[in-house]
Amino acid sequence: EPSQARVTKMNGDTHSRENDGGYALAGGLRSARDLARKFLPNKRRVSQPQAQGPEAARSARVSRGQPPEPARRFMVGEVYPVVQGRLAFAVHSSSDMTKAAIRRRPDLFFCSSDIHERYEAFCSDFGPVNLAAVHGFVDFMNEYTKHPQLRERTVVYYAEEEPELRTNACFLLCAYLVIEHGYSPEGAWEPFAAIMGDPFLTFRDATYQPQDYFLTVLACCQGIKKAMSLGWYSPDEFIAEDYEVLDDPSNADLHRVCPKFVAFKGPSEVKKKLVEGVYTFPPEHYCGIFQVMGVGAVVRLNEASTYDARGFTENGVRHY
């Protein structure tokens, strides 16, 4: 039987080598073009699973005019059912609390990870974690929820007491239900919405200014569901390692937001090291990536003095 402990899943080691343009790329890739080829999405779409199990039961209760499961007030150490008899959520204030819970509830299996902690803040922002982390969390949870020795026990994912961390954990669990079990975003959010006391925050923009837009966990899950319905994200075909290569600030700091739109860190006139492992790159560095990804134009959002647009235009990329 797997041991009940805090489980940390870290990325595998990466190796750097010089590419054709003289820039070091992680992941053993030889060139920016090689990097882009690895990341090109497969356009084949797969059918999505239908809502099932507990969510279907909730929908049936509502259709019969019956109330959903009763709301419960938020308390540290309490176990909150997410999927009845199979999955639950808890917040623990210390490792001693976790150990005590394990001794007190042998019918439950407690597990956690560092995945809900992986968001790297720019300012006052704290999440949500990126798509590679979400994808990895689905694999992580499947290791336990599908483990043959845990079929008769409820798996409890626990997070720390800090509101930011428990909110990221809540988002990951909701995303897991949407991606792996075909829940609607509303059905995935329902058990968390029933926890009274507003224990979960809304996500915010990456500034230190007062928050004026409130991005909910539900809205994030609706975005995932929409991306899946459009074929922009396919769990069966997504390769997290490739995503992380482009995400890596020592490579490109670039993301394909949708098939027609790519966002990337603003270029600089020459390659610059900002801090250890974080660089800015000249336009030429991105042109090989853009050619393979089908990017034909760049829109400048920063000052004209930061880089010379000819680095794009002389390599076949329009600039505005």
pLDDT of residue 44: 38
Closest-CA residue to 46 (of 239, 226, 176, 228) = 228
Please tell me the predicted confidence (pLDDT) of residue 3: 67
Rounded CA separation 114/160 (Å): 10
Q: What is the pLDDT of residue 242?
A: 87
pLDDT for residue 277: 85
Of 156, 147, 114, nearest in space to 133 by CA: 114
Q: Give the separation between CA 173 and CA 203, rounded to whole angstroms.
A: 16
**Which neighbouring-strand residues pair with 83?**
87
In a structure prediction context, what are the per-residue pLDDT tens digits for the chain, which is 320 residues long?
Answer: 676 655 433 333 322 223 333 334 444 444 555 555 555 544 433 334 444 344 544 554 444 454 555 678 999 999 999 999 999 999 999 999 999 999 999 999 999 999 999 998 989 999 999 999 999 999 999 999 999 999 999 999 999 999 999 999 999 999 999 999 999 999 999 999 999 999 999 999 999 999 999 999 999 999 999 999 999 999 999 989 989 999 999 999 999 999 899 999 999 999 999 888 889 999 999 999 999 889 999 999 999 999 999 999 999 999 99
From the list 135, 299, 125, the residue with the least C-alpha distance to 227 is 135
Beta bridge partners of 87: 83, 155
User: Of 234, 147, 180, which Cα lies nearest the Cα of 53?
Assistant: 180
Q: What domains can you pick out in the chain, each with its CATH number? A: 31-43+239-319 (3.90.190.10), 53-229 (3.90.190.10)
